[in-house]
Amino acid sequence: MHAAKPSPPPAAAALTQLQRRGPIETAAEHLIGRLPIVRRPGSVILAPEGSAQDPVIVAKGWAARAKYLPDGRRQILTVILPGDALSLNLTSRPIERCELISLTPIELLDAHMVREQLGHLPLLARALWLSQRDEEQRLIDQVGRLGRRTAMARICSLLLEFRDRMIAAGLGDRQRFEMPLTQEAVADVTALSVVHVNRTLQQLRSQNLLEVRNGQARFNEPQEIEAIVGTPGPRRTEPTDQRQSNTAVSDDAPK
């Protein structure tokens, strides 16, 4: 019989992710490594909308920032994965005024001590700043995903994002990664119906491109998934002639 692989330390994903952005202080590694763990079940509110969010680092499990429409429908703006640091910046951001919810059972590292020591740990502060910048870039990508992509490309781009972030945390590779989200949660991220999500996932399975089983995803043909999403194209330039631009906007205006 093969011996079971030992579980990684709770802070392993966070340290792996931070160190990919550059070296951090040994004192910072020790500090993060001894942070107390807070456990929460899945599908609970971790921080209500508009409240001050406690500084935490995700050790295990998935969470999300979400907004709710008047009719109760939910739009997930960003998904929080193992290794992500939350509310460790010194100034509030608009995205932190969203509701923070757990999507799965989750283990959080209470990072109050980290925030108190950031002034003495400039390398860690820089790594956390880069982490914050990455989250803001993902929010921009989410806007583009919802506004300009087909259902198939929305779901594939989301899965690729999850894969690449899990790789950055040392928890996956190009083909295999954790993916515990329900189809309902995927629908709330991609602004699709659950039926449409199910149909798209079935299509990916029927083409032998994707398998999702027991909270794990596998790309059988990663290059095919990447091809569906494509790479960013050249930026379209606007007309330089102001009269041409005005005419294009006002074609239907009375003459």
Q: Are strands 99-102 and 45-47 parallel, antiparallel or unpaired?
A: antiparallel
Q: What is the SS3 assignment for 237?
A: coil
Measure the CA–CA gap between 28 and 152, rounded to whole angstroms. 42
Q: Please give the model's pTM, rounded to 2 decimal places.
A: 0.85
**Residue 249 — pLDDT band, cuts 50, 70, 90?**
very low
pLDDT for the residue 238: 46
pLDDT tens, position by position, 120-156: 999 999 999 999 899 889 999 999 999 989 999 999 9
Measure the CA–CA gap between 211 and 128, rounded to whole angstroms. 33
pLDDT for the residue 241: 45
156 exposed, middle or buried (CB, 10 Å; 0-12, 13-18, 19+)? Answer: buried
Answer with the residue of higher pLDDT: 167 or 4: 167
Measure the CA–CA gap between 15 and 83, rounded to whole angstroms. 7
- pLDDT reading at 75 higher than 80: yes
**Residue 4 — pLDDT band, cuts 50, 70, 90?**
low
pLDDT for the residue 246: 46
Measure the CA–CA gap between 158 and 150, rounded to whole angstroms. 12
In the block, tokens 């009375």 appear at 254
pLDDT tens, position by position, 181-231: 999 999 999 999 999 999 999 999 999 999 999 999 999 999 999 999 986
Q: Which domains does the chain carry?
A: 10-148 (2.60.120.10), 150-231 (1.10.10.10)
> Which residue(s) pair with 63 in the sheet?
80, 102
pLDDT for the residue 128: 93
